[in-house]
Chain A
Amino acid sequence: MFAYLVRRVIGAVLLLFIVTAVTFAIFFLVPRLGGATADDLAGRYVGKSAGQEQIHNTAVRLGFTDPLYVQYGRFVKGLVVGQEYNYGTGTEHCPAPCFGYSFLTQQPVWPDLVSRIPVTASLAGGAAFIWLITGVGTGIISALRRGSVLDRSLMSVALAGVSLPIFFTGLLSLSIFSYSLGWTQQGGVNPLDETNPLWWAYDLILPWVTLAFLYAAAYARLTRAGMLETMNEDFVRTARAKGLTERTVVLRHGLRSALTPILTIFGLDLGLLMGGAILTETTFSLPGIGQYAVIALRANDLPKVLGVTLVAAFFIVLANLVVDLLYAVVDPRVRIS
């Protein structure tokens, strides 16, 4: 087990470095291949009335005039041991993991990311709880009542949930529940500013439900399909023949087996969301990783883009690892050697 863990962690670290190299190449190498010079790149990060000299000075300051491998090496070095940064009237040490400084705000990226992770975690965690309970529950009910009016109704709602994009359901729910009825918090607040957990939940309930609606629908359909398949397996018939109660047959034998693919998807979904629920955070103006990614991409702020990509990749890799370990718990047929 320990050796397996070590192998996976080493693999995960290597994967993250590959992600940094690919991302770095996309944003720094590809423009060069397209003919962009160091000054062209720097031109995006100067003021409205910058002259050629100022643009070139900025290119030098941002390191664009160095060979690409030097720039990448500097980035990796910053991640591992930190780097020195000249803020104009002095220098400061940016401790590891240093993701560099924003080209536009000239502030360090890592503290920004750290301050936003709890917001994204609050959103993703709460929504995941809701969609797991409602999605899996709905899927079980639909599977056991296959063909009934209830099944068809639930699956129709699920289809709507899968089909409607967040920016539509989000804005619609904000309009109805926040601005017309006044039941929920409006957008643009930071739930982490709250000291009372109930207010924190109140700030997030609408984003949670909106996000969960999308995912719950998919999980309901997935659970239903899995349960229908599992409930026809021989071992379920055997369980019934042994005289077990229907509840035990459904929950301990049927659901447990059907949960394996759901767990895989759940891990990936949660990992992806931890890297930023871009549409939800943008719609509800939540200051999380997803909103940060949008700001970074809009402004071509490459250190921020690299930072977000790496954090997102980290959470996905982590979620995959956790899911693999949980397989053994959920499905006794799987054992890690």
Chain B
Amino acid sequence: MRWNRITTVTAVSAAVALSLVACGGPKASSGGSGGGSSAATPEFDAANNKIFNPSDKKGGTLRMAITEKWDSTDPGDTYYGLSWNLVRNYVRPLMTFKSAPGKEGAKVVPDLAEAPGVPTDDAKTWTYKIRKGVKFEDGTEVKAKDVMYGVARSLDKTTLPNGPTYFNDFLVDVPKDYSVAKDPQMKQLSKAITTPDDYTIVFHLNKTFAGFDYFAQLPSTAPVPQAKDTGTKYQLHPIATGPYKFESNDANKGFTLIRNDQYDASTDPDTGRKALPDKINVAYNVNGADIDNRLIAGDLDVDIAGTGVQAETQAKVLADPKLKAHTDSVLSTRLNFTVFNSEVKPFDNVDCRKAVLYAADHEGYQRAYGGPFGGDIATNLMPPSVAGAEKFDDYGFEADKNGNPTKAKEALTACGMPNGFSTNIAYRSDRPKEKAVAESLQQSLAKVGIKLTPKGFPTGDYTKLYAGKPDYAKANGLGMIVYSWGADWPDGFGFLSQIVDSRVIRAAGGNTNLGIRIPEVDTLIDKALATTDDAERNKIWVDVDKKVMEQAGVLPGIWAKGLLYRPDTLANVFSNDGQNMYDYASIGLAQK
């Protein structure tokens, strides 16, 4: 009897716990897609550059999640591919990538603009006519001055630091510390942007640039009503012009988009965006393994990062044919590579660089990223998904996947170091795949006498304080730098300009060109910028690629792929060469 009370307390506790579990059971999805089964049969790569389970049916809540927040939901302050993909749902830039599968999705088409830009003055002046009848979410009609204001505010890199600086760099006479808050009439931009009437906007460039339509697709060309601009707080509620608007937004937790009743699809004939879900929920800071598990369980629809499942999930998914049938191995416009720092000896000598190219184990590089599902062995810089890219293999990477020690020794002899040399290789210490690259190269290069010492640095400061800061990299002998680069957009300029043009290297750090200084490359880039014919321009970008490889500026590793998981809850899902992940402007939900 003396144990009655203890027993009772224990029993009650257990009963409470069990009843909580029992009353729960599999709870109905809070998302609302209902997890309806798709009519189409899942197959591997079924949504890779083609539409899986085509649908025009609207409705449901699309549930998206990501492991950490990206820079911003403000269209004038964002520089993430996933963000540029998603932003098309709530704002309309002048131009945009067409929402269509495959290569069609890499075409830049008019969105807010009526037609592509009209170049004059040797492509130094670009004129866009904007559509009539496009409205903000409050019902006000969009005018050219709203587009000008959107671009103007994005030039203030102290308030909105995250976006690209193309407009700062290319527009005529933009003051270096420009702030639209200090220049509300935008008088200081009078030479850069003009709006002759309510529906015309003209951009004036400081140099010829034939690919300006790509600039016009940047989210910062989306209109912003000046009276509604709240500076750093605008990210919480960007004023919508797209098919959705913000219902709620917490900068640390996530946001919800609902339909924008002021969006008129008849003003949007070219983009192909379908806007199928009634609501879109985005959650930040969800554990990566949890995201994968929820995708597999059908409790989540999209991993918004679009880079593929976690490494441990990939092994599990590929081993199970049923799970594998729900995946797409999507080629990105990303190159994982190792740069030679031309300021660190002996990499100022082209033959020493070539020795590394010949000695490297390319299959080992690929293995470090998860094997063939992590990407294809890269033989040059530009991934095949870049418009006009050409694959070539001057060093025989595909024939000698594990390296060619004989040619490596010949190159070492030519560089005056027949017995090899020692150098450091930098990598991001919290990226196990990059560490594996450094170790793989350490092993393969040791066979020809090149001794590598791996040195890890934190990701957050990698380009700003260490590998990407020229004086630090030189002083610390970082001869080889493991890196990864995804194109801003899939053409030669978008992919190559920021990683091979020596003039973008800044002493302050934060560089993405980590050591390539080849004058002929800079000259070719200038030539490409001035060439208005698309085919001819693309050929020049291939020449840039060839020149960098001829000079052995980098060791290409892999053209990255992502293994995307496609739950049965999705409809009208496809990847394309514009986004290199699922296209978020047309993705829908399978209806029950």
A47 to B163, Cβ gap below 8 A?
Answer: yes
Contact with B along A158-198 (1 / 0, CB 8 A): 00000000000001001100110011111111100100001
Residues of chain A contacted by B233 (CB below 8 angstroms): 87, 106-107
Cβ of A141 under 8 Å from chain B: yes
Cβ of A199 under 8 Å from chain B: yes
In A33-75, the 8 Å CB interface with B consists of: 39-40, 43-55, 57-58, 61
Give Cα distance in the complex from A246 to B72, angstroms. 65
A52 to B508, Cβ gap below 8 A?
Answer: yes
Indicate the size class of the contact surface on chain B. 35 or more
Residue of B nearest to A204 (CB): B20
Residue of A nearest to B253 (CB): A287
Cβ of A243 under 8 Å from chain B: no
B252 to A105, Cβ gap below 8 A?
Answer: yes
B461 to A44, Cβ gap below 8 A?
Answer: yes
Give 6 nearest A-B pairs by CB, closest first. Answer: A88-B231, A88-B159, A106-B232, A202-B24, A182-B26, A52-B508
Segment touching B, from A228-236, A269-277, A293-301, A315-323: A293-301
A186/B294 contact (C-beta < 8 A), A43-B465, A106-B232 known:
yes
B158 to A61, Cβ gap below 8 A?
Answer: yes
Cβ of A97 under 8 Å from chain B: no
Cβ of B512 under 8 Å from chain A: yes
Supplied contacts A51-B506, A112-B251, A184-B21, 14 more A-B pairs, CB within 8 Å: A46-B161, A47-B165, A53-B177, A54-B157, A57-B177, A89-B231, A102-B251, A107-B252, A188-B290, A188-B300, A198-B20, A205-B21, A205-B24, A250-B2
A49's partner among B20, B27, B297, B510 (CB-CB below 8 A) is: B510
Cβ of A99 under 8 Å from chain B: no
* 5 A-B pairs in the complex with CB atoms less than 8 angstroms apart: A39-B508, A49-B512, A285-B283, A285-B287, A287-B253
Contact with A along B482-524 (1 / 0, CB 8 A): 0000000000000000100000001111101000000000000
Residues of chain B contacted by A251 (CB below 8 angstroms): 5
B283 to A188, Cβ gap below 8 A?
Answer: yes
Cβ of A19 under 8 Å from chain B: no
Cβ of B311 under 8 Å from chain A: no
Give Cα distance in the complex from A39 to B229, angstroms. 28
Residue of B nearest to A188 (CB): B286
Residues of chain A contacted by B289 (CB below 8 angstroms): 171
B2 to A137, Cβ gap below 8 A?
Answer: no
Query: Which residues in B have some Cβ–Cβ distance to A below 8 Å?
Result: 1-2, 5-6, 9-10, 13, 17, 20-21, 23-27, 30, 65, 68-69, 71-72, 79, 156-165, 176-177, 179, 181, 229-233, 235-236, 250-253, 283, 285-287, 289-291, 293-294, 296-297, 299-300, 460-461, 463-465, 498, 506-510, 512
Residue of B nearest to A304 (CB): B252
Residues of chain A contacted by B230 (CB below 8 angstroms): 87-90
B293 to A174, Cβ gap below 8 A?
Answer: yes
Contact with B along A81-123 (1 / 0, CB 8 A): 0000001111000000000001011110000100100000000
A43's partner among B23, B250, B498, B510 (CB-CB below 8 A) is: B510
Residues of chain B contacted by A201 (CB below 8 angstroms): 20
Residue of B nearest to A287 (CB): B253
Residues of chain A contacted by B508 (CB below 8 angstroms): 39, 43, 50-52, 55
Give Cα distance in the complex from A25 to B293, angstroms. 41
Residues of chain B contacted by A186 (CB below 8 angstroms): 290, 293-294, 297, 299
B10 to A174, Cβ gap below 8 A?
Answer: no
Residues of chain B contacted by A52 (CB below 8 angstroms): 506-508
Residues of chain B contacted by A335 (CB below 8 angstroms): none
Residue of B nearest to A250 (CB): B2
Residues of chain B contacted by A199 (CB below 8 angstroms): 24, 27
A245/B2 contact (C-beta < 8 A), A47-B79, A61-B158, A183-B21 known:
yes
Residue of B nearest to A247 (CB): B2
Cβ of A291 under 8 Å from chain B: yes
Residues of chain A contacted by B286 (CB below 8 angstroms): 187-188, 285
Residues of chain B contacted by A89 (CB below 8 angstroms): 181, 229-231
Residue of A nearest to B233 (CB): A87
B429 vs chain A, min Cβ distance (A): 13
Cβ of A130 under 8 Å from chain B: yes
Residues of chain A contacted by B287 (CB below 8 angstroms): 187-188, 282-285
Give Cα distance in the complex from A43 to B289, angstroms. 31
B68 to A295, Cβ gap below 8 A?
Answer: yes
